[in-house]
Amino acid sequence: MHLKRWLTSLVALPLLVLLIFKGGVASFSIFMGIIMVLAVWEYTRIISGEADAAHLNPLSFVNILSGMALIWAASTRHPALFPLILSFSLILTGFISLRRFQYDADISRKAAFVALGGIYIPLAMAYAVMIRQEPSGGQWVFFIACVIFAGDTGAYYAGTYFGTHKLCPSVSPGKTIEGAIGGLAANIGIGVVYKLLFLPAVSMTESLIFCLAIGSAGQIGDLFESVLKRSAGVKDSGNILPGHGGILDRIDAILFALPVAYFLKVFYLTP
């Protein structure tokens, strides 16, 4: 398992670097769109169960379409369209629910979960594109990815070798307080090194606050996906990434970190 995790990461890293730094905003937006589609599909399978996934496909397509619209709005620098896109997505979800209620009395609950997925995944992808649009956006996107993925790795190994106190056993029995602390330490460690090498204009205090904030949000995101999977009785969101599970398993932390990162980058950090 450890070898598979590292091999997958080593294969994916050059592609990630190429897309972030060399591809431009358009290529990065397309990549975010692909990740969004795969993650939404996995999310639908989690909340509905394998047997019912096809039944909710029309609602999932609404999320995919609205997600593409959100990423387009971000790539064209029109974030003011985000609430409008989400509102129309909700209206269309409601319309489909009306049509299906006579066949499925539980459609309102399912539609609510699907609507949540329309915010949970696509909106975060749009914020990634918005950050890419900022000055030195490529550096910041890679900075966020390094901090979050380092936190995931730090939490995994700290929890494996030193974990004794359960963090949230009802949600994820394997996660420990020691793992969470190790994850935050890795967030800060990688963040400080990256700041010194590539972002010298950012103060050390700002960098520490930034890393702690997105690292904490990332851990909440990881636990939130665990809630979804535990409620559905599944271990992984998919198996597309050897050693990591599905796309959603790999990006669950960064989905919660991206809105926090965008807020801090735009409204807190020194320009």
β-pairing, 172-176 vs 166-168, is antiparallel
pTM attached to this predicted model: 0.90
Say if residue 166 is exposed, middle or buried (CB neighbours under 10 Å; 0-12, 13-18, 19+): middle
d(CA 203, CA 53): 48
Alpha helices in the chain (DSSP H): 2-21, 24-48, 57-75, 82-100, 107-120, 122-133, 137-162, 177-198, 204-232, 247-267
The per-residue pLDDT for range 134-152, each reduced to its tens digit, is: 989 999 999 999 999 999 9
- As a whole-number percent, the residues of the chain with pLDDT over 90 amount to 59
In whole angstroms, how large is the CA radius of gyration of the chain?
A: 19
The per-residue pLDDT for range 206-259, each reduced to its tens digit, is: 999 999 999 999 999 999 999 998 888 887 777 666 655 788 988 999 999 999
